[in-house]
Each structure stands twice: as structure tokens, then as C-alpha cells.
Chain A
Amino acid sequence: MRRPPELLLRFTRAERWVHRTTAALMLTCLATAACLYLPPLAELVGRRRLVVTVHVWCGLALPVPLLLGLASRALRADVTRLGRFTPADWAWLRAVRARRTGLGPAGPASFAGKFNAGQKLYAQWTLGSMLVILGTGLIMWLTHLTPPAWRTGATFVHDWLAAAIATVVAGHVWMAMRDPEARLGMRTGLVDRRWAEREHPLWRHQQHQHRHPVDDGRPVERELPGQ
């Protein structure tokens, strides 16, 4: 008989809300961008002014959930975690490289805190690319604010960065598809302790060291939405 899973709180309601709304805005931006940019989709959809309006306003709203979310202590704590590389993170990167070349014995997972180094890099890429895509988008949108050469440059960066963002987001979704427990963690906020011990061993360790009320690693019950 399977023992019922012991659950840890990984993401608070505020964090999940920020993730969900940012994801929705980002996907809308990418979908509308495709309709503006790819000729077959542009021919299919038309309505250029409406699509542009949706794209611009979703783009402007892109950083809003994160900014609002900063009111949450749990989110600020995770922002701090994501921003710094510990020695374990460098070890994680080395282990990933070693595994790729087939030389290293240790799996990278043993060097992961609440977030592994890859997740930290993804988070920082998201923030940095969001700021650049927003800045170049503003230059393209407010046409009378900057000289034309800036606009050509901004369009160039916006186009290439959009392609890069689409690729990285696809990678993010692909990684999530391969790990149902991680997806459940983002959907319900809770993860199985055994999964956490396997994928994020240093997170649990830290949780025992520093208990605090928002995110204390205490066993809790998971309620799936709609159950």
C-alpha cells in the first residue's frame, strides 16, 4: 500500500498567481506576435489593428504581476534565492557539464537548493529579456520619442529577442511537461517531500535550519483545484 505523500509548501498563492498571470500575458504576446509576423498566420487572422492593440497592452502589462507580487514576503524571499549563486550552484553547473560529456559520477540534482542553478538562470533571463523586450517595444510604440535610427535598432533587437524568448519559453514548457510533480507544485503550491528530497535536497536542509511562518516546509494537505 502506498503511503500518502507528505507535502511541503513550495509556492504560496501570491507566487502562483504571479506565475499564472505572467505566463498568460507572455503567451498572448507570443501568439499575437506570431499573427503579426508570420505571413501565413497574418493572412489567416488579419485584423492588424486589433492584434497590435492586444500585443501592445499585454506587453505593457507583462511586468505588472511581478511588481504587485513583490508585496508578498514569500515572493521576495524567492527573488533573493533566485538572484544569488552559492557554491552548490557552481557545482550543479559542473555536474550538468560532466553528465553531458559522460565524465562525472554525481548527478546535478544533489546540488540543488529550493531552485537549482538552471532555474536561477532561467529566472534571471526572464527578468532581463522582459526588460529589454519592453524597452525596445516602447521605442517602437512611441514613435515620436526617439530618432529613427533608434527605432530601426530597437526593431532589430525586438525581432531577434522575441525569437529567443519563444525558444526559451518552449524549453521551459518542455521541462515542465517532463516533471508532473513540479507542475503540481506550481498548480497547487505543494510538493511531495520525497520529490523535494530527490530534486532539491539542499532546500529541505535549509528549511530545517531556518523556520519561518510563510514557507516552513511543514507537512500540509494538498487540495487540487476542482477536487
Chain B
Amino acid sequence: MRADAEEPGRGTPVGRRVVLGLLGLGALGVAAGPYLQRAQEAVAGKDPTGLTGLLPGGGGFRYYSVASSVPERTAEDYTLTVDGLVDRPGGYRLADLRAMPQRRIVRDVQCVTGWRVPETPFEGVPLAHLLDAAGVRPGAGAVRFSCFDGVYTESLTLAQARRDDVLVALRMRDEEIAHAHGGPVRLYVAPMYFYKSAKWLSGITVTESVQPGYWERNGYDVDAWVGRSNGRDDAPTA
């Protein structure tokens, strides 16, 4: 045994078997992944301990920010500006927004990277109400959103922006929106992938035509309907 212990070409090709086995498992995992993912989400949905959230690919929101750091804004120093092609440009403090008519919507949240959070309540001022309050001028065709992280931008056509399931959201999951989730004020576009729901919203500008937002300049679809864009086939959220 000792003499041929390292003789090249002898012995069992275990290495090849391990590598091919892993490749096969990988391919199987890709094929079965959608079902396994759904099964994992079903288990996580019924888990009261929240431990399943620690699993890889586990449910729940994930934190995405494109900026290096995002300042905190509170009721004292937060302002939402509305300008562009409007008759009455202006700024709204948090108290002004809270005094406006509110609407609560409960839908699934679907991220373009795959994760989905079921039945998430959002509450806030319908964007259409703010647009009407500002008086959109003839010739306007789109709305651009900017954020106080200083980097992120988003956009909607005027028709999309006027939908009744598009909110300037002040509350999420029946609580004030935490900083990590884009608080104190974020956009909520129920029928679209979640990158449209810009966090840390600070500016609404009415424009002539759509100016693609941050991720849209990096290849994401501007009309980001859930299940009908970005090459994905998720169940629609609205």
C-alpha cells in the first residue's frame, strides 16, 4: 500500500466525483429553487419566533442603500418640496402631511431581486392629492422624485402618479416609518417593484417627460409593473 500511495493515475477519482456531484446538486438546486424558496417562505410565514429570518434567503425586508450614509430627519427638520410645472410650488412639514387625508393600503411588497413580504400595510397621503393641491400645469407629463440621501432618484408618468395606490407614505406596518425603511417619509408605489418606492423622499418635481431614476439608468425598467417588467413573472401586487 505504501509504495503506490501517491502513484499518479492510480486510485479512485474521488475528486472528479465530488466536483461533478456538486455541479449536479447546484443544477438541481437551481431547478428546484423556486419551490424550495416558496416552501421556506411558507414555513417562515408561520414562524412566531422569527428565527427563520436568520436563514439564507430568509423572509423579511432587506436594507438597500446606494448612498454611503443617510442623514436622519425628524419632524423638526424634515421638509418635502413640491415644484416644477405646478401653479403653487411649496414645502410641506411632517405635521402638514399628517393633517392631509390619509389612505391605508395592504399589499405584498415585491423586490426585483426576488424577496417578497406578504400583506404589508402602508399609510399616507395619496400622491394625487398633493399634485392637485399644487396644481399641475398643462404640458406636464411626469413626476420626478428626489431623496435626502442625496443620490437616489425615481420617476413616474403623471398617469401612474395619479393612481390611487400611489402614496407619500408616513406609516408602514402601522408604525411610523423607521430610518432604515426610508423614514420619516417614503414613496409607496403598490403595483410596481419596490425600487420605485423611493426611501427618504424629499422632493417631488413635475416635469414634461419621464427622466429615468437611479436604478433605471443602470438597466432596470422605468415602467416597473410587478410581474410584467424586468424579465420577471412574479404575481402582481396590485
Secondary structure type dominating chain A contacts: helix
Question: How far is it, in angstroms, between the C-alpha of A159 and the C-alpha of B29 when the chains are bound?
Answer: 11
Given A86-B11, A89-B11, A128-B22, decide whether A152 and B114 contact each other with a Cβ distance below 8 A: yes
Q: Does A206 lie within 8 Å of B5, measured CB to CB?
A: yes
Choose from B3, B68, B114, B230 the contact partner of A47 (Cβ within 8 Å). Answer: B68
Chain A nearest CB from B9 CB (Å) reads: 8
- Which residue, of B25, B30, B70, has the highest number of chain A Cβ atoms within 10 A? B30
Question: How far is it, in angstroms, between the C-alpha of A17 and the C-alpha of B148 when the chains are bound?
Answer: 45
- Which residue, of B2, B26, B231, has the highest number of chain A Cβ atoms within 10 A? B26
Q: Does A47 lie within 8 Å of B29, measured CB to CB?
A: no
Q: Which residue of B lies closest to A42 (CB)?
A: B63
Choose from B9, B18, B57 the contact partner of A121 (Cβ within 8 Å). Answer: B18
Q: Does A149 lie within 8 Å of B233, measured CB to CB?
A: yes
Question: How far is it, in angstroms, between the C-alpha of A135 and the C-alpha of B29 when the chains are bound?
Answer: 12
Q: Does B57 lie within 8 Å of A113, measured CB to CB?
A: no
Chain B nearest CB from A178 CB (Å) reads: 24
Q: Does A153 lie within 8 Å of B33, measured CB to CB?
A: yes
Choose from B22, B25, B56, B180 the contact partner of A163 (Cβ within 8 Å). Answer: B56
B4 at the A/B interface (Cβ < 8 Å)? yes
Chain B nearest CB from A123 CB (Å) reads: 7
Question: Which residues of A lie under 8 Å from residue B65 when comparing CB positions?
Answer: 42-43, 46-48
Chain B nearest CB from A219 CB (Å) reads: 20
Chain B nearest CB from A10 CB (Å) reads: 14
A127 at the A/B interface (Cβ < 8 Å)? yes
B46 at the A/B interface (Cβ < 8 Å)? no
B69 at the A/B interface (Cβ < 8 Å)? yes
Q: Which residue of B lies closest to A113 (CB)?
A: B6
Question: Which residues of A lie under 8 Å from residue B23 when comparing CB positions?
Answer: 128, 131-132
Q: Does A156 lie within 8 Å of B37, measured CB to CB?
A: yes
Question: How far is it, in angstroms, between the C-alpha of A206 and the C-alpha of B6 when the chains are bound?
Answer: 6
- Which residue, of A48, A128, A148, A209, has the highest number of chain B Cβ atoms within 10 A? A128
Question: How far is it, in angstroms, between the C-alpha of A80 and the C-alpha of B219 when the chains are bound?
Answer: 44
Q: In the complex, how many residue pairs between chain A and chain B have their CB atoms under 8 Å apart?
A: 162
Given A83-B13, A153-B34, decide whether A46 and B6 contact each other with a Cβ distance below 8 A: no
Chain A nearest CB from B232 CB (Å) reads: 4
B12 at the A/B interface (Cβ < 8 Å)? yes
Chain B nearest CB from A125 CB (Å) reads: 7
Q: Does A48 lie within 8 Å of B29, measured CB to CB?
A: no
A85 at the A/B interface (Cβ < 8 Å)? yes
Q: Which residue of B lies closest to A162 (CB)?
A: B56
Given A49-B218, A88-B1, A129-B22, decide whether A39 and B180 contact each other with a Cβ distance below 8 A: yes
Q: Does B33 lie within 8 Å of A148, measured CB to CB?
A: no
Question: Which residues of B lie under 8 Å from residue A11 when comparing CB positions?
Answer: none
Q: Does B66 lie within 8 Å of A157, measured CB to CB?
A: no
Q: Does B26 lie within 8 Å of A157, measured CB to CB?
A: yes
Question: How far is it, in angstroms, between the C-alpha of A43 and the C-alpha of B70 when the chains are bound?
Answer: 9
Q: Does B19 lie within 8 Å of A113, measured CB to CB?
A: no
Chain A nearest CB from B195 CB (Å) reads: 11
Q: Does A46 lie within 8 Å of B15, measured CB to CB?
A: no
19 more CB-based (< 8 A) A-B contacts, given A121-B18, A157-B29, A206-B5: A37-B62, A43-B65, A47-B67, A77-B8, A83-B14, A85-B14, A86-B4, A124-B19, A125-B22, A128-B20, A129-B22, A132-B23, A149-B34, A150-B30, A151-B114, A151-B232, A160-B56, A161-B26, A162-B56
Which 8 pairs from chain A and chain B are nearest by CB? A153-B33, A128-B22, A83-B15, A156-B33, A132-B26, A124-B18, A153-B30, A84-B11
A–B pairs, 30, beta carbons within 8 Å:
A42-B63, A46-B66, A47-B65, A47-B66, A47-B67, A83-B14, A84-B13, A86-B4, A86-B5, A86-B6, A123-B15, A124-B15, A132-B22, A144-B231, A148-B232, A148-B233, A153-B31, A154-B33, A155-B37, A155-B57, A156-B37, A157-B29, A159-B56, A159-B57, A161-B26, A163-B56, A202-B2, A203-B6, A206-B5, A209-B3
